[in-house]
Amino acid sequence: MHNKGVEEVLKEVDSSLKGLTSEEAQKRLKVYGKNKIELEEENVLKIFLRQFTSPLIVILILASVIALYIGEAKDFFFIIGIVLINGMIGFYQEYKAKVKIKELLQLSVPTVKVIRDGKIVEISSEDITIGDIVIVKEGDLIPADIRFIETNNVLVDESILTGESIPVEKFAEKVLPEDTPIYERVNIGFGGTYVVKGIGKGVVFAVGLNTEVGRIYSKIKIKERETPLTRTIRSFSKKLLVVIISILLLIFIVGLMQGRDIEKLVMLIIAQLVSAVPEGLPIVITIALVIGAITLYKRKVLIRQLPAVEALGSATFICTDKTGTITENKLTVEKIYSLEDSINHLVFALCNDSDIERGDPIEVAMLRWLENQGYDYINLREKYPRLWLYPFDTKLKLMASIHKVKDEDILFIKGAFESLEKLTENVEDLDSLRKVHDEMAESGLRVLAFGYSKVHGPIQDITKVKIKLIGLIGFLDPPKETAVQAVNAAKKAGINIIMITGDNLKTAKTVAKMVGIHDEGKIALEGKDLEKYDDESLKSLLYKVSVIARATPEDKFRVVRILQSAGEEVVMMGDGVNDMPAVKAADLGIAMNEGSQATKSVAKMVLMERDLSVIVEAIKIGRTISHNLRKVILYLVSTSMGEIVLLFFAFMLALPQPIYATQILWVNLITDGIQDKTLVLSKEEKWIFYLKPKTFSEWFLDKIQLFRVFSFAFFMALLNLAVFLYLLKSDYPLEKAITIVFTGVVFSQWAHGFQIVREQPFFYKPLDNFKNNPYIFLAVIFIGIPLQLSAIYIFPDVLHCTSIELSDWIYPVITFVGIFGFLEIRKWIEFFIFKKLYNI
């Protein structure tokens, strides 16, 4: 389409400047499909089969073959049944997780303005089709391949397609040779690129996989990158496997030396290996992250990338903007100081791209002031038409436009006082203007300067123009009450906050003081001050900085990189297209729902409600998820080690085998299978938020965690072994003694699960255990107990069990009470040692 004129292109796609009708658009959507690039979705069968490709599952299948070979057909069918049940559970959980993730991602599909039925409407980018007339402006993603039909100073970043970081200027009027390479097609807007500056209009000629970006995607397979948490767990599992195999190998050697049946010994070792390694942990993590994403969405936070949920809990720095996040973003014109009152209304109405309902809050406030003064800004714009526009420049901190006023070309300009004073020709007024400016800023007002100049035609270099600086506007934007609470909560959690804003230093510092970000000992800087420091010096300085005013996008990006080099986990907020590099580079980039589509496309999270308290609340949820996963790991590792230590002690004492291979697999199913899935549903423990931030990998096996693992493992093993010895000495039949110990092991692990629900002792505010996680108790009562009773009384032969008398249940109950009591005593000791930690 680059080699054809506008009229020819419109004719070819059978459209017009009035766009498509709604009816025609629906017909074309059926023909061309949705405008989205969908990589090949994973086949449901493939997801199901993957549940059986784990090395441990392969080992388990091998064990079933061995069982069949030695004539234990019941064991064969039981093991195969366990494999199928685990596979079905894993498949269901993974499939549901993928569905939920897909549903959440659908919520972040960008919208686009198109002309339909001759009117401008806003629709989902997926619903545009060939022939649609699309309107794009600064910060918008171009939703599909378009042939520009109108351009007004349009600059497009095409780095995603060409690798070239310099924006390309677009010209609708140009017709190019057919062999023009992609990077020189200056009349085309490519889907997936974004508008850096200007306003344009184009007709869609390719959608979805037929766009240039879509064709590239269709040729490649993108493998989803593992999250840091998943990689850490994989590394942890390997180390754990080495420890477990070493112990089991020792058990195997001792068993051989004692002359035990080698085939049954192999079966036992394989079963214990499969039971001991937490192969279901990755899917538990996925479930936890999906639950977190759903919870966050209910709190007005949309997760675009699932790993962001885990990153939340590790955040150490929040780099927040000011307007709308810390302040109300309900700007009103509080004070005006002008040297020429007769010009004010013209600047306010004409050097302004918003309307009374939407747009930049500063510009909307200016229009509302005009309305209150009796001016009609629409009539003013019609009376004095715009001839030229210089959109707001984030570096120069100004905006300008030229209008025809009484046969003269007048440039109206507004921006930061320090930017406009450099262009001022009436220097004699600067001192008085500066004094008023400082007074406004120090009283917490957001200050904007304005002026005008008579010119002749468009300006080539805005920095060379000479203006008459005539006035200042002070806007009031009070801090949110929630911001004060959020700052206090973040400080208690050990999280540093830096306010990075384009606003004046005095205003920013005043607002930061109001909400508690800036206090004694903190430093407030301007963006230009950062240039005085090399990266190493700035690294140490940033720990003292609370405010960076007049910051450029480059300043934000540099701050993120330097903090990351110091080992910090950085949250960066942004909304404008120029915030995109910093948001993308941050560990947790956050975009605003009302911000540019370009920034939202690279952000890991989108705030539906612009408020610092929402971010702090999200970090709380992230920490809760991390802590719940820590509980799952503690539960799985300690119970597995308990079973291994029980076997080890029994073998070392030359006792009969206290638990059979199939019984170990059953224990794995009705304890781990139900309790690890419910532990991730535990609610927030408030004291968690008062810990210093740390990455999840630091939580895995710290000293406290290791102590808890081995103390439980040894106590569980010794208690069950003591019961086993007592039963044998009391002349209990071996099969009945094994059945009782088997049930005792199940009860031990249930007791452990109940205690892990909260860090605090169970009997410290006991009702809080059930409020915190009722699911784990319900799962044991309605699933676990009936299944265990079935194993003993309905199909005992399958698990080599024998029915036990009512009086025999005293031993599993004693085991449960003993384990529960041991853990309760341990928790009370920890409770008093770490009382301050629990914030009680």
Helices within 397-449 (DSSP H only): 417-420, 430-442
Both structure tokens of 807: 């009086």
Both structure tokens of 674: 């139900």
- Please spell the DSSP secondary structure of 155-187, one letter per residue: EEE-HHHH---S-EE--TT----TT--GGG-TT
Both structure tokens of 323: 């307007």
Closest CA to 587 of 229, 320, 311, 231: 311
Both structure tokens of 84: 């199928």
Question: DSSP secondary-structure letter at 501?
Answer: -
Residue 711 CB partners (closer than 8 Å, separation 6+): 826
Within 10 angstroms of residue 603's Cβ, the number of other Cβ atoms is 29
How far, in Å, CA of 400 to CA of 206, rounded?
Answer: 36
**Bridge partners of 573?**
590
Residue that the structure tokens 């997760």 belong to: 303
Closest CA to 622 of 571, 562, 559, 581: 571
Instruction: Provide the total of helices (H) and of strands (E) in the chain, helices listed first.
Output: 31, 21
Biggest CA pair distance of the chain: 115
- Please spell the DSSP secondary structure of 95-145, one letter per residue: HHHHHHHHHHHHTT--EEEEEETTEEEEEEGGG--TT-EEEEETTPBP-SE
Under a CB-based contact definition with an 8 Å cutoff, are residues 192 and 211 in contact?
A: yes
Pairing of strands 408-415, 301-303: unpaired
- Interhelix angle 281-298/612-652, nearest 10 degrees: 160
Both structure tokens of 470: 């005539």
The catalytic position among 75, 132, 140, 321 is 321
Both structure tokens of 353: 């791209």
Sign of the four-CA dihedral 646, 679, 88, 802: positive
Active site residue 321: yes
> Number of C-alpha atoms within 13 angstroms, CB side, residue 638?
32
Geometric angle at alpha carbon 372, from 371 and 377, rounded to 5°: 15
How far, in Å, CA of 734 to CA of 562, rounded?
Answer: 66
Under a CB-based contact definition with an 8 Å cutoff, are residues 780 and 753 in contact?
A: yes
How far, in Å, CA of 539 to CA of 771, rounded?
Answer: 44
Both structure tokens of 593: 């729902």
| 380 CB burial (10 A radius; 0-12, 13-18, 19+) | middle
How far, in Å, CA of 681 to CA of 757, rounded?
Answer: 10
Closest CA to 551 of 531, 535, 577, 522: 531
Q: φ and ψ at 123, to 5 degrees?
A: -135, 170
Sequence length of the chain is: 840
**Bridge partners of 525?**
548
Question: DSSP secondary-structure letter at 732?
Answer: -
How far, in Å, CA of 705 to CA of 335, rounded?
Answer: 60
229 CA to centre of own chain: 13
Pairing of strands 496-500, 317-320: parallel
- Please spell the DSSP secondary structure of 642-684, one letter per residue: HHHHHHHHHHHTTPPPSS-HHHHHHHIIIIIHHHHHHHTTPPP
* Three-class HEC string of 577-596: HHHHHHHHHCCEEEEECCCC
Under a CB-based contact definition with an 8 Å cutoff, are residues 545 and 501 in contact?
A: no
Which residues carry out catalysis? Answer: 321
